[in-house]
Chains A and B, each alone.
Chain A
């Protein structure tokens, strides 16, 4: 498929494109197991001990160190129940669960976990700062570390200016932000996020996804539960899909989402003649079996438009009593900060390659054409030789993780296939066809 747009890129569905999800899958399935769930079943009973619901049925999966793992499924599919069992808030009816090799009831492992519930359950009488202070004290963080992390997190989630307002006065999105901050206060090795973007505005949603990718790149293990498929798709490296408490599918994003019989070529705007020539080249190369199927100009995503408007307003210092556009990822969540804390906490806790650049630093784009390989490489080589020399991709002002191609896929780590071209039959079926 050829898209007449500002630059040319070739995204080939298949291993090469997905392989660029460097940050999010740095640990990958090969790392040590952080969470191991084996044959987990959970049945809820009523007062008379009659079975009311079987929320989870013989579920097994493993989350490895450094992996961003997705738990997908429609409402009531057992995602939150599984998470609560992993956290020790529920006891399994049968099966086994181990977190860092220990049972969930072990208090010591909770030092290494951050949890954001599906809704923000906060003390309404505390303000944002007191809330974070409370949770920081539960981790017995000393005052210096505590104060610094609170400042950084408040800045990160954009609540620094309203930190002395009671939480009950916050909007749902603001409460969600403070909920996310509390989940990160201990710089967790395992972050469990249950519907993290619920209630967030597009900027908040983007920041959360940005953060997940960044933390995954840092080697953190993340379990992301959601029924918002774009959230999962943008972030996770592997996932299970649940329905009725049972596992319906498991695998990496590429294995589940790839459409191997389609290719996308993106370039500067092309006239009809050029498109026709390209079509001819493709047909010639494939013996007339393949050709250009669709040509269109990509639309800017509403999310990008929204972010642009808010960023402009922020630059113009427009007043708001709500949450501010959050700052960059908290210093202590980045590797440089870990060293300055003296404990080398993050480096010690993470393994695998941890880029030193902060999340906002643009990642050097992979040479699109060189990324391709396999049977279509010759075809792309031909195309490359027939079109004028291409300018390199301009550096974006957006964080690399947020930088999207024209199709809306996120950063180098996301599948490059256009979203509307992805075979979603399974996901759509499970989520009732909603997008």
Chain B
């Protein structure tokens, strides 16, 4: 018996029921053993667990409260208040604030000793293992695992730090490739019913796995993901490392998968027509729409597998980084160098701003300001009309939308600017959920001062309800963050509606040593000040992000499939890539078009050739803006919430667009003559 026959025999053996049952029992027993061992060890560690109480922050209510880390709001003074009632109110708010912080820190500590996470990892590892066994891949995977262990093991045990990186790369590649193979098998199983749609879809899966054109992307994705952890700079703060990994991992895998989806969708439809294979398919009882849907479903299945593998890989490695990575000023994960601190700033920002799903809100424009904007637009329209009547110059033609944008911009700039020795109060509404979740909120702000010289530092003074005023010295033009307690949120009436509101007063105060001539106005850019609060866990946010990415890929597949029903492969690719880039960049194009007017602002010269560009680009960019603004990976990296509303919106809208495209593709396919003139 030669080696091929032997492997073939083994392959048939691993597909027998007896093998699957025995292998499953062994795998489950191993998982239980690992879990029990880990739990016993974790329980021993938990003996040393420390808890944080309210007293850790405010002492005996007579002392100055302990500030856990730089940047936290200063606790208000306790006793000594003039009025007793006010004193009681102040104490109450103080206790609430301290309690909120204590619970947050205790959650951090619990995470450190939690076995639930490890249990989840074991469980999630066991599922694909069992899946592989029942998909008839048990022995194959065992052999792969042993081979990987033989290669990776010595590197980890005897190699230096550089070998460790290679080991992670090799191990990661094997795990990702094995996961991919198992999920593809599962997909094939799901597509096994004997119907035209599933048969065609299953064929596309086989095509994707076996054809070089798609295999290149699959291998590229797996290698890139495995290589990525090794490229992270361990000297940078942990939060940036995690963000970089999420950025390149999630965003990169989406783009690679998107390119594969476009190429595979166009190839599977166009090549089948070019190579005349479609003749044999369409002379079977297959309706044109079934063919189109089958092709689309197959590509979506493959993209779901790729997305599943890459997302799971990115998620677990991000979680691994979170648990094992050292934040700045930590001696061990979750253990600061400074014993007086509960957590370092790096760790705090990672846990409360990055690996979460935050919702943010910007300052509410005062009602009188919006009224003034309307009035100003009306006045300028009248002025512009008069000017146009006199000049009859197209450059002077009144454009209400343009004027509206101009006036709004000017009003917002003024609203977000604070002169020297002045202050302004900004109201942030809709913070009900922040009170419910009860985790510290985050104020993100960026101060522009003059030319934003990087060496310039500026004093910004904050007045937060329930806290003493505090001042921070910040570099100009750089985004800064600051935690805020939810106890500062109050219920108030705004425009006749009750809402949870935060009134934040910011002052531009200079010390007496600064001469008046040196005082400058500071301002926030339109998106330069916002309050965010945790609305969802990282895990749930990630799940929604992956769902939206899948919906986007399904839409892109429909675009390419539709294009390939009547275009050759290169042209279909060109069209689909154009649509993809246009959709992804719709927001940027829309903004750029504002400055791409046919009329030059300086010389007032009219470039007539720009009119058709604007007429074509404007409706397209506006219609696809929603796609670009979903920005799932951007939100994931910044820890911003991608709510179920966004998911539902994308599913409905992109789903409808996908349906329309598939209907068009089906109609084109039905009316096409699939055969050609033989004597051509």
**Cβ-based interface call for B287 (8 A):** yes
Interface string of A316-332 (1 = CB under 8 A from B): 00000000000000000
Contacting pair B195 A137 (CB below 8 A): yes
Interface-centre pick from A52, A90, A122, A125 (highest chain B CB count, 10 A): A125
Whether, in the assembled complex, B679 has its beta carbon less than 8 Å from a beta carbon of chain A, the answer is yes
A6 to B203, CA, bound (A): 56
- Kindly list chain A residues whose C-beta atoms are within 8 Å of the C-beta of B286: 107, 110, 138
Q: Is the CB of A110 within 8 A of B194?
A: no
Q: A141 at interface (Cβ–Cβ under 8 A)? A: yes
CB <8 Å contact, A126 and B675: no
- Known contacts A55-B679, A121-B280; 13 additional CB pairs below 8 A are A44-B677, A44-B680, A53-B677, A81-B677, A87-B279, A89-B674, A107-B287, A122-B277, A130-B206, A137-B195, A138-B199, A140-B196, A143-B194
Quick check: B283 and A110 within 8 Å, CB to CB?
yes
Q: How far is the CA of A91 from the CA of B195 in the complex (A)?
A: 27
Check B675–A137 contact: CB distance below 8 A: no
User: Bound complex: CA of A125 vs CA of B204, how far in Å?
Assistant: 10
14 contacts between A and B (CB under 8 A): A55-B677, A75-B679, A87-B283, A115-B280, A115-B283, A118-B678, A119-B276, A121-B277, A122-B280, A125-B206, A134-B202, A135-B284, A137-B195, A186-B284
Closest to B278 in A: A121
| CB of B5 closer than 8 Å to a CB of A | no
Contacts of A80 in B (CB 8 A): 678
Residue A17 lies at the interface, judged by CB distance under 8 Å to chain B: no
Q: Check: A248 CB closer than 8 A to any chain B CB.
A: no
Residue of A nearest to B284 (CB): A138
B contact set with A: CB distance below 8 Å? 194-196, 198-200, 202-203, 206-207, 210-211, 275-277, 279-287, 673-675, 677-680
Query: Are B279 and A121 in contact (CB-based, < 8 A)?
Result: yes
**What B residues does A146 contact at CB under 8 A?**
194
- Flag A119-150 by CB within 8 Å of B: 1 or 0 each: 10111011000100011111111110010000
Choice from B199, B211, B673 contacting A125 with Cβ under 8 Å: B211
CB atoms of A137 and B199 under 8 A apart: yes
Q: Measured between alpha carbons, how far is A397 from B85 in the docked complex, in Å?
A: 117
How many chain-A residues does the 8 Å CB contact rule pick out?
44
The yes or no answer to A182 lying at the interface (CB within 8 A) is: yes
User: CA–CA, A182 to B207, complex, Å?
Assistant: 19
Contact digits for A57-79, partner B, Cβ 8 Å, 1 yes 0 no? 00000000000000000011000
With an 8 A cutoff between CB atoms, is A88 at the interface? yes
Tell me which of B199, B277, B675 contacts A89 (CB under 8 A). B675
CA of A123 to CA of B271, assembled, Å: 10
CA distance A403 to B211 in the complex (A): 46
A interface majority secondary structure: mixed
| B281 contact set on A, CB distance < 8 A | 138
Nearest-neighbour CB distance to chain B for A407, whole angstroms, equals 34
Q: Which residues of A contact B198 (CB under 8 A)?
A: 137
Name the B residues within 8 Å of A136 (CB-CB): 194
Q: Which residue of A lies closest to B287 (CB)?
A: A107
Contact yes or no, B280 A135, CB < 8 A = yes
Chain A residues engaging chain B, CB cutoff 8 angstroms: 44, 52-53, 55, 75-76, 80-81, 84, 87-91, 107-108, 110-111, 113, 115, 117-119, 121-123, 125-126, 130, 134-143, 146, 166, 179, 182, 186
Inter-subunit contact A117/B284 (CB<8 Å): no
A182 contacts which chain B residues (CB < 8 A)? Answer: 280
A121-B279, A125-B211, A142-B194 are contacts. A76–B679 as well, Cβ < 8 Å? yes
A117, B276: Cβ atoms closer than 8 Å: yes
**A125 and B207: CB pair below 8 A?**
yes
State whether A138 touches B206 (Cβ < 8 A). Answer: no
Residue of B nearest to A106 (CB): B285
Q: In the complex, which residues of chain B have a beta carbon less than 8 angstroms from the beta carbon of A76?
A: 678-679
Q: Which of A91, A143, A166 contacts B673 (CB 8 A)?
A: A91
Chain A residues near B200 (CB, 8 Å)? 138
- State which of B194, B210, B679 has its C-beta within 8 Å of the C-beta of A140: B194
Distance to closest chain B CB from A103 (angstroms)? 13
Separation of A88 and B279 alpha carbons in the complex (Å):
10
Known contacts A121-B279, A138-B284: A126-B206 contact under CB 8 Å: yes
In the complex, are the beta carbons of B678 and A81 less than 8 A apart? yes
Closest CB-CB distance, A142 to chain B, in whole Å? 7
Residue among A113, A119, A134 making CB contact with B283, cutoff 8 Å? A113
Chain B residues whose C-beta falls within 8 Å of the C-beta of A53 in the assembled complex: 677, 679
Check A139–B211 contact: CB distance below 8 A: no
B207's contact among A121, A123, A138, by CB below 8 Å, is which?
A123
CB-based nearest B residue for A44: B677
Q: Which residues from chain A contact B195 at a C-beta distance below 8 Å? A: 137, 140
A141, closest chain B residue (CB)? B194
Which of A84, A135, A143 has the largest number of chain B CB atoms within 10 A?
A: A84
Query: Inside 8 A of A134's CB, which chain B residues have their CB?
Result: 199, 202-203
Residue of A nearest to B291 (CB): A138
Minimum CB–CB distance for B597 against chain A, Å: 39
Q: How far is the CA of A118 from the CA of B194 in the complex (A)?
A: 27
Q: How distant is the Cα of A134 from the Cα of B285 in the complex, in angstroms?
A: 13
Q: Are B206 and A117 in contact (CB under 8 A)?
A: no
Q: Are B673 and A117 in contact (CB under 8 A)?
A: no
Interface centre among A44, A108, A123, A141 (most CB of B within 10 A): A123
Task: Select which of B196, B277, B279, B680 is within 8 A of A138 by beta carbon.
Answer: B196
Report the separation of the CA atoms of residues A53 and B679 in the bound assembly, to the nearest whole angstrom. 9
Shortest Cβ distance from A89 into B: residue: B675
The complex places the Cα of A231 from the Cα of B286 at a distance, in Å, of 31
B284 contacts A110, C-beta separation under 8 Å: yes
Residues in A whose Cβ lies below 8 Å from that of B282: 88-89
Known: A52-B677, A80-B678, A91-B673. Is A137-B196 also a contact (CB below 8 A)? yes
Q: Nearest chain B CB to A357's CB is how many angstroms away? A: 31
Q: Once bound together, how far apart are the Cα atoms of A289 and B673, in whole Å?
A: 61
Whether A139 pairs with B203 at a CB distance below 8 angstroms is no
Instruction: Give the CA-CA distance A189 to B198 in the complex, in Å.
Output: 26
Among A53, A117, A126, A135, residue most surrounded by chain B Cβ atoms (within 10 Å)? A117
Closest 6 CB pairs of A and B: A137-B199, A89-B675, A125-B210, A138-B284, A76-B679, A84-B675
In the complex, what residues of A have CB within 8 A of residue B277's CB? 121-123
- Nearest A residue to B276 by beta-carbon distance? A121
* Docked pose: A88 CA to B285 CA in angstroms: 12
Which residues in A have their C-beta under 8 angstroms from that of B194? 136-137, 140-143, 146
Q: Which residues of B contact A52 (CB under 8 A)?
A: 677
A89-B674, A138-B196 known; A121-B275 Cβ under 8 A: yes
Could you say which of B196, B198, B203, B277 has the most chain A C-beta atoms within 10 Å of its C-beta? B203
Minimum CB–CB distance for A172 against chain B, Å: 15
Closest residue on chain B to residue A126 by CB atoms: B206
CA distance A37 to B196 in the complex (A): 29
- CB proximity of B288 to chain A, nearest CB, Å: 9
Q: Which chain B residues lie closer than 8 Å to A91 at the CB level?
A: 673
CB contacts (< 8 Å) of A141 on chain B: these are: 194
Closest Cβ–Cβ distance, residue A116 to chain B (whole Å): 9
Q: Is the CB of B280 within 8 A of A117?
A: yes
Q: Judging by beta carbons under 8 Å apart, are A107 and B285 in contact?
A: yes
**Which has the most chain A C-beta neighbours within 10 Å: B279, B285, B674?**
B285
Most chain A CB within a 10 A radius of its CB, from B194, B207, B674, B680: B194
Q: How far is the CB of A46 from chain B (nearest CB, A)?
A: 10
B279 pairs with A89, CB closer than 8 A = yes
Known: A123-B207, A140-B194. A88 touches B283 (CB 8 A): yes
A89 touches B673 (CB 8 A): yes
- Nearest-neighbour CB distance to chain B for A123, whole angstroms, equals 6
Q: Is A126's CB under 8 angstroms from B203's CB? A: yes
Query: How far in angstroms is the closest Cβ of chain A from B287?
Result: 5
Residue among B280, B674, B675, B680 with most chain A CB within 10 A: B280
Bound-complex Cα distance A1 to B674 (A): 53
**Which single residue of chain A is at the shortest CB-CB distance from B212?**
A125
User: What residues on A are CB-neighbors of B202 within 8 Å?
Assistant: 134, 137
Q: Which residue of A lies closest to B191 (CB)?
A: A137
Give Cα A141–Cα B210 distance, bound, in whole angstroms. Answer: 26
Q: Which residue of A lies closest to B198 (CB)?
A: A137
| Contact partners of B285 in chain A: CB under 8 A | 107-108, 110-111, 138-140
